[in-house]
Amino acid sequence: MTVVRRTIWGVAMAAAGLFAATGAMAEPIPEPIPEPIRVMTFNIRYASDEGATRWAVRRPVMVELIRRAAPDVIGTQELLQRQGDDLTHALPGYRWFGRDRRGGHDNEHMGILYRPDRLTLVEHGDFWLSETPDVVGSQSWGTDLPRMANWAVFETKGEKPHRFLFLDTHLAHRDEDAEARDKAAALILARLPALAKDLPVVVAGDMNARPDTAAYRRFAATLTDAWPAAARREGPEMTFHDFTGTPDRRIDYLFVSGFRTQAIATDSYHRGKTYPSDHFPVAATLTFEDETR
């Protein structure tokens, strides 16, 4: 039996060599398919130096969560400069960029963290969620604080690079800000075509809007909510838990266009009673739609 198998294998190899030499029945070599990218949205909660949820206690738990999840890009909300610097110091494989909602570095940032070994930052910018979006620190529609969006065009690294637009935002939080959230969503969507051109898009953020609101419906009418669209889902659908570990509302989202969502997870990692934030981050594994048809 061994001799027969070796003889058949030898004939097959000889035939393969003949076909390779003559070009007969040669199969075309497929182009390489880019690896999936992993994106995350994470309201990390402002740093505080007091109480059980102070930053010094939460920081190592957050670092470990990010290390374990290993996303390629993270859209954060409520990021202070010292938090961004702490995270990239503890996770030297990441860089971050962005200015705060007043145009400096003393307040909340929509800081975007990314892995330069996986992604090249091509260009980036920001705008404010107001009637004068190019005016730094501007606000409209009765909001109590300026709100903004931070965006970037990234290019994947590898044999077949792809570009995509990643936009990160944090909409107004008060109950009476429903109209402001809806108008902010409309502004973001109106700006996407010029920013993305024909590129795939990820919109990440704490929208402070549940799925039954006008702001959510506006986003979902143009983009795909990655959670229900995912082939696999893990963790709770709800995301805000107020440091209890028991979430009671879904307000953190990843909306996409030009991608297929292979998997998505709400990450509830914690140590004992210490949670890294009062929100659970949401992370998705995406493949470029034109490569999965």
The pLDDT score that the predictor gives to residue 206 is: 98
The pLDDT score that the predictor gives to residue 291 is: 60
The pLDDT score that the predictor gives to residue 12 is: 39
The pLDDT score that the predictor gives to residue 8 is: 33
The pLDDT score that the predictor gives to residue 33 is: 56
Taking alpha carbons only, the member of 39, 103, 45 closest to residue 74 is: 39
| Domains of the chain and CATH, by start | 1-30 (no CATH), 34-291 (3.60.10.10)
User: pTM for the whole thing?
Assistant: 0.89
Longest dimension (CA), the chain: 84
The pLDDT score that the predictor gives to residue 158 is: 86
State how far the Cα of 137 lies from the Cα of 130, in Å rounded to an integer: 9
Q: Please, what are the averages of pLDDT over each run of 10 residues along the chain (293 residues)? A: 37 39 47 80 97 98 98 98 98 98 97 98 98 98 98 95 98 97 98 98 98 98 98 98 98 98 98 98 96 49
DSSP 3-state of 248: coil
